Structure formats: C-alpha cells, structure tokens
Amino acid sequence: MTTHRIWIKNPLALFTATDQSAPGGLVIENGVITELLVAGATPSLFIDETFDAREHVVLPGLVNAHHHFYQTLTRAWGPVVNEPLFSWLLTLYPIWARLTPRALELASKVALAELLLSGCTTTADHHYLFPAGLEEAIDIQVGAVRELGMRAMLTRDSMNLSKVDGGPPGKSVVQTAEVILADSERLIHRYHERGDGAQIQIALAPCSPFSVTTDLMRSCAELAERYDVRLHTHLGETLDEQPFCAQRFGMRTVDYLQSVGWLGPRTWLAHGIHFNQVEMHRLGAAGVGICHCPSSNMRLASGICHTLELENKGAIIGLGVDGAASNDASNMMLEARQALFIQRLRYGAKKITPEKVLGWATRGSARLLGRRDIGELAVGKQADLALFKLDELRFSGSHDPIAALLLCGADRADRVMVGGQWKVCDGQIPGLDIAGLIADHKLAARELVNG
C-alpha cells in the first residue's frame, strides 16, 4: 500500500476535543492522524499534499448520536406543527406507514447530505418502520451511507406492540419478535464492522420500552451481549412516560430499564430528560450514555436535559439532531448552538462554554456510539475533520474563532474529511446532484403525505 501524507497546515484555530494544542496543524497518513504540530513546526516526514488552513477553524468531524432519517419527508407538516410528542406521534404514524424503499432512500440521502455539509462525519440513525415491502430498510440506509462516504451507526429499531396491544403505532408497521431478532442477527453478520476506522456499525434499538414487549427488551440485551453491539432507545423524553410505566409495569422507567438488563455501558438513551436525582446517579454509575437533543426537546416542549448532573454522576453526554419531523433540521452545528443556549438557561453561562458543547458534539457523541477512534484530533485517531471559514457576513467582526462558530451561527462547513478523504470541498459534495436530490425528495414527501 502506498503511503499518502496530508498536512493540514497552520489553521486559524484548531479544536482537538482534548486539551492538546496544535497551532502548526496536523499530519494525516493513510487516513489516520500521525502528528500534531506546535507553532512553526513542520512535518517530520515527506508530505504528498498540503492544505493551507490559515482561513479555517478545524474541528473533529461532528458526531450525531440520534436521528430518524425518514422523517425528512414530514418536516414542518401542518397537522403536527403545534403538537406535543404523543399526539404528534399518533398523527404521524399512519403517514409514515406508507413509507416506500425509494422514499426511504431519498430521505436518507437528504439527511446524510445535510449532516455532512454541517460538518458531521459520523451519524446514528434509529429506524423503526418496517411495513410490508420495506423489510430491508437498514440495507437501503447502508447503501446511502456508503454513497455519501460517511460513517454510521445504524440501529435496527423494533416495535412489536401496536395500538391493539397498547403500543402507539398502527398494526401495519409492527413486526413479531422472531422477525425482529432474526433480522437483527442478519444485519450484524452482514454489516457490523469492528475496530478502528469502521464505516458501518449496527446496534439494537427498540423504539421505546413502551412499543415492545418485555421479552423483546430482554432478548435485545442478550443479543447485544452475545455479539458485542450497542443498545439504544428513547427514554425520559416526556413526563407522561412515568405514570404510563407505573401503570403498565408497576415501576419507574429506570427500574424497568434495569429489570430488562439494559442498565449498563452498552446502552445510550435519546433525550434522558425526566429522571430524579437517584435515577441520574444510577444511570451515571452504570455508565449509560445520554444523547441530548435540544432542538427536538424545545420544538415538542418536552423539557431540558440535566446534562451536567448526569455527567457529574458518570454518564456520557453527546448530542443528536433527532428526527427531522421534530427538529426539523439535520444540522449538527446548529444543534450545538441550541445546546449551548438551552443548557446556559439551566446552568448559567460560565459552566456551559462553546468548547464544552463542541466536546459533546464530537468526543461525547463518539463515546455514546462506543467509539474511541473518532471524535477528537489526536495522534492515532481517524482523520475525520470539519473545517469552517469565517468569511460570511454573520462572522464579520468576530474575535474568538471557536466561540464565533456557535455564537454567530455557523451552519455549513467549507471542507469535510472522512478517514483522510475529502467529502466536502468549497461547501459542496463532489459528485452529488443536490438539485436533483431535492426535486425527487420533495416529490416523495408530497406523495407520502397525500397518500
């Protein structure tokens, strides 16, 4: 294999996600970071390609730890614009039940392209709709991720309780536990990559503990243990989960999580808002990860995550944009800005710095996905980078480049690299016909809503 070395030279600013500094930039060899350079230093070995980054703020590629790609087809849909979570879900399920393979492919590409252009290099997705004809939904998503050249943790979601069994969705989108578990094993065997540099990974992810049976929750935990993959679900998103859980299972949500073998470091939860102090302590002590989704939580008026309390008790905090019917953007930089502001409302300005929030959006989210090879700029890590220019009107007159990204509202990267390969150049994705994609996606969105 021939060696290819790239020097990202003398950046305007560089955020490593740790306390290292590298004003001279960094050196990448075959997709992996091999040197961080002090001011005035030059690479120790011959360089094939130099990228002059004097106008760029360099971040580790952002990592999105929670999404539902298919929801890009129902953004800002009139009937649910002003609805809270439960009625929002019940109104949308019959629409989503019509999802087709082609619509999912387009929706996934749109979400991925939007994320990539915002500086995101790795994303999770939580797909839970498998109506007849869409049994290979995750396979479709794998194709879209590979086409865009990003990394992804695709979670094989599941629902085996429909409305008639006391779950939220209609009958046509739920599957039996046997089908769900067999497909989960198939996907792990077929796609789950292990080790540094993995592009596609699979996790097991019942939509919520209330949309599957207790047996299926337990079986997912056992399967995850057997194959060493991660577990993901929604929990603690709204207050009404607690009485619902008490009524159905006779216990609170965290007790239920423990009772089905989910209270451990393999699990990361979307939202994680409504827990008491003792429960936060238990989640932290167990090493459970929490994906904070500020835009969605504000949009649906669900509540504000207790990020610092959870973190102080040992939980890992990361960020996610959540599904595009509750955000309705798939932009990781705007999500970090929202996290900065909403968390300042809870904890004050001094404790919630831009660096802290960018840490959640990079290293924190990477750890939620069980990854140590991405999310920070350090020797031995994957060369996943997001480079931003501060040349737009909105940045004019700004001083601290890292703070400016969030305070002035950066929303589009100038360059993005995944594993040493440029995937965004001059704010564009080479080879992707964005206008054509938008036209096809718009049509699919209209067809889905109109039936």
- Residues contributing to the site for Zn ion (CB under 5 A): 270, 322
Q: How far is the CB of 233 from Zn ion (least distance, A)?
A: 9
Residue 263 vs 270, nearer CB to Zn ion: 270
> Tokens representing 27?
């050196």
Radius of gyration for the chain, computed over Cα atoms and rounded to the nearest angstrom: 21
Q: How far is the CB of 359 from Zn ion (least distance, A)?
A: 22
Residue 270 vs 339, nearer CB to Zn ion: 270
CA distances from 326 to 80, 305, 419 (A): 9, 16, 31
Residue 5 vs 127, nearer CB to Zn ion: 127
Q: Do 69 and 112 contact (CB within 8 A), yes or no?
A: yes
Residue 274 vs 281, nearer CB to Zn ion: 274
Q: How far is the CB of 316 from Zn ion (least distance, A)?
A: 18
Residue 93 vs 388, nearer CB to Zn ion: 93
Q: How far is the CB of 40 from Zn ion (least distance, A)?
A: 47
The whole-angstrom separation of Cα 4 and Cα 15 is 24
Residue 152 vs 385, nearer CB to Zn ion: 152
Tell me which DSSP letter residue 61 carries. P
Q: Buried b vs exposed e over 18-55: b needs ≥16 C-beta within 10 Å?
A: eeeebebbbbbbebbbbbbbeeeeebeeebeeebebee
The whole-angstrom separation of Cα 224 and Cα 397 is 51
Q: Which residue has the tokens 């087809």?
A: 73
Find all residues with CB under 8 Å of 399, minimum gap 6, and list them.
none
Residue 129 vs 270, nearer CB to Zn ion: 270
Residue 57 vs 85, nearer CB to Zn ion: 85
The whole-angstrom separation of Cα 107 and Cα 121 is 18
Q: How far is the CB of 129 from Zn ion (least distance, A)?
A: 13
- The beta strands (E) that lie in 274-319 are given as 289-292, 316-319
> Tokens representing 96?
């989503």
Q: How far is the CB of 298 from Zn ion (least distance, A)?
A: 14
Q: In what order do the strands lie in the sheet with 25-29?
A: 32-37, 25-29, 5-9, 49-52
> Tokens representing 369?
């996905």
Q: Do 155 and 126 contact (CB within 8 A), yes or no?
A: yes
Q: How far is the CB of 294 from Zn ion (least distance, A)?
A: 13
Q: How far is the CB of 283 from Zn ion (least distance, A)?
A: 18
> Tokens representing 418?
């995944």
Cis check: omega of the bond before 196, within 30 degrees of 0: no
Q: How far is the CB of 276 from Zn ion (least distance, A)?
A: 22
Residue 105 vs 322, nearer CB to Zn ion: 322
The whole-angstrom separation of Cα 308 and Cα 270 is 16
Q: Buried b vs exposed e over 372-409: b needs ≥16 C-beta within 10 Å?
A: ebbbbbbeebbbbbbbbbbeeeebeeeeebbbbbbbbe
Instruction: List, in sequence order, the alpha helices (H) in 230-288.
Output: 241-249, 253-259, 277-285
> Tokens representing 381?
């890590």
Residue 322 vs 411, nearer CB to Zn ion: 322
Q: How far is the CB of 377 from Zn ion (least distance, A)?
A: 29
Q: How far is the CB of 237 from Zn ion (least distance, A)?
A: 8
Residue 225 vs 240, nearer CB to Zn ion: 240
Residue 325 vs 358, nearer CB to Zn ion: 325
- Which residues face 385 on adjacent strands? 60, 417
Tally of CA atoms within 13 A in the half-sphere of 69 that contains its CB: 33
Pairing of β 151-158 and β 200-206? parallel
Q: How far is the CB of 322 from Zn ion (least distance, A)?
A: 5
Q: Do 85 and 401 contact (CB within 8 A), yes or no?
A: no
